[in-house]
Amino acid sequence: MKIGNRFVDLPIIQGGMAVSVSTAELSCAVANEGGIGVIGATGLSLEEVKRQLQEARAMTKGILGLNIMVAARNFKDVVYESLRQKVDVIIAGAGFSKDVFGICREWKTPLITMVSSVKVAKLAERLGAAAVIVEGRDAGGHLGTEEKTEDLLPAICEAVSIPVIAAGGFIDGQGISRVMELGAAGVQMGTRFLLSSECTVHDNFKELLMKSKISDLVRILSPVGLPANAIKTPLVEKLLAGDESIRPENCRGCLKRCSGSFCILDALLRARNGDYERGLFFTGSNFPAIKKIMSVKEIIGNLLEEAKSCMAGTTKPSPNS
């Protein structure tokens, strides 16, 4: 897979999960296996972004990306800091910024944007995106559409000439095989790598996903103004009930726009640290099919083996589930 002037051995991008879920350890493990390892910068200070990227670069010679929400107030500052740290790829989601195209062009660094329609994909290509990530309703975190990725893909692949990456609920080689047959150049996977031994979230987070059922997954409206998929927890139940007690007493102004329904930064940090009562646990919708926590090396090896067997017409049960 070619992203701008970067050649990627494997057509796999690790999702840049925010607030210290996708950190240096996880991103390096993916990069070392030939995919694009991504640090989630949203929720980090500039100093933390710098430290994460420096730690990651010291551990890998592979391709490192940085994911940042356009909705974050420090969006541009984070982009500039990551470019100074010589990140290989910038991934921008949860909004659309025209300014970042010029910045990345000036620094000769490929930019990938998240899209959910033909119109936005064509605009991204025209402005200079090196690739687009099509993320459907089955993804974890913030969503830009109610359509499934596989329903969106064919039209977007036909509309643009840059690589199209599929994202949203993909956990196995069968999914990779399907979307590549639809024209995708690769996949982005978040939840499958969250449930890896290299992901440094608290064990409570991983155990919650392993024990939960699909009926525990609900759609919420994030303070960012976008819907999101999350596990039903006491915090989420209060949010769905309109409980005013979860509104923040103080605001750090981390978002350009915020509804103030609750502090998403605090809630995601609590989830990362294993606080079931007060945490917000984002996840892709196919999490129940993941039955094992494995190393990134094992996960990627199994993904490739299964994808190859699917393409050869000799599908086997997924070794990832």
Q: What is the pTM of this model?
A: 0.92
Q: Please enumerate in sequence order all residues whose Cβ is within 8 A of that of 163, keeping only pairs 6 or more positions apart, or say none.
A: 1, 2, 3, 130, 131, 132, 185, 186
At residue 22, the pLDDT reads 93
> How far apart are alpha carbons 265 and 121 in whole angstroms?
29
> How far apart are alpha carbons 72 and 45 in whole angstroms?
11
- What string of DSSP letters covers 210-224? HH--GGGEEEEE-TT
CA distances from residue 183 to 4, 153, 159, 162, 262 in whole angstroms, order as listed? 18, 7, 11, 11, 39
At residue 314, the pLDDT reads 66
> How far apart are alpha carbons 167 and 170 in whole angstroms?
7
Helices (H) and strands (E) in the chain, counts: 12, 13
At residue 243, the pLDDT reads 93
pLDDT in 10s for each residue of the chain, 321 residues: 999 989 999 999 999 998 989 999 999 999 999 999 999 998 889 999 999 999 999 999 999 999 998 878 888 999 999 999 999 999 998 778 888 999 999 999 999 999 999 999 999 999 999 999 999 999 988 888 889 999 999 999 999 999 999 999 999 999 999 999 999 999 999 999 999 999 999 999 999 999 999 999 999 999 888 889 999 999 999 999 999 999 988 887 777 788 889 899 999 999 999 999 999 999 999 999 999 999 999 999 999 999 888 888 765 555 555
> How far apart are alpha carbons 261 and 46 in whole angstroms?
26
CATH topology of domain 9-200+290-311: TIM Barrel (3.20.20)
Q: With 0-12 CB in 10 A as exposed, 13-18 as middle and 19+ as buried, what is 172?
A: buried
> If we measure between CA atoms, which residue out of 243, 233, 238, 246 comes closest to residue 276?
233
CA 303 to chain centre: 18
User: Tokens 């643009």 label which residue?
Assistant: 160
CA distances from residue 294 to 75, 170, 193, 195 in whole angstroms, order as listed? 33, 16, 9, 7
**Domain spans of the chain?**
9-200+290-311, 203-287
**CB-CB contact of 162 with 142 (8 Å):** no
Tokens of 200: 């440094």
Q: DSSP assignment, residue 245? A: G
**CB-CB contact of 114 with 42 (8 Å):** no
What is the SS3 assignment for 124?
helix
User: Tokens 């031994």 label which residue?
Assistant: 197
At residue 158, the pLDDT reads 97
Phi, psi (rounded to 5 degrees) for 19:
55, 55
> If we measure between CA atoms, which residue out of 124, 59, 69 comes closest to residue 91?
69
Q: DSSP assignment, residue 23? A: -
Q: What is the dihedral of CA 303, 305, 306, 308, to 10 degrees?
A: 110
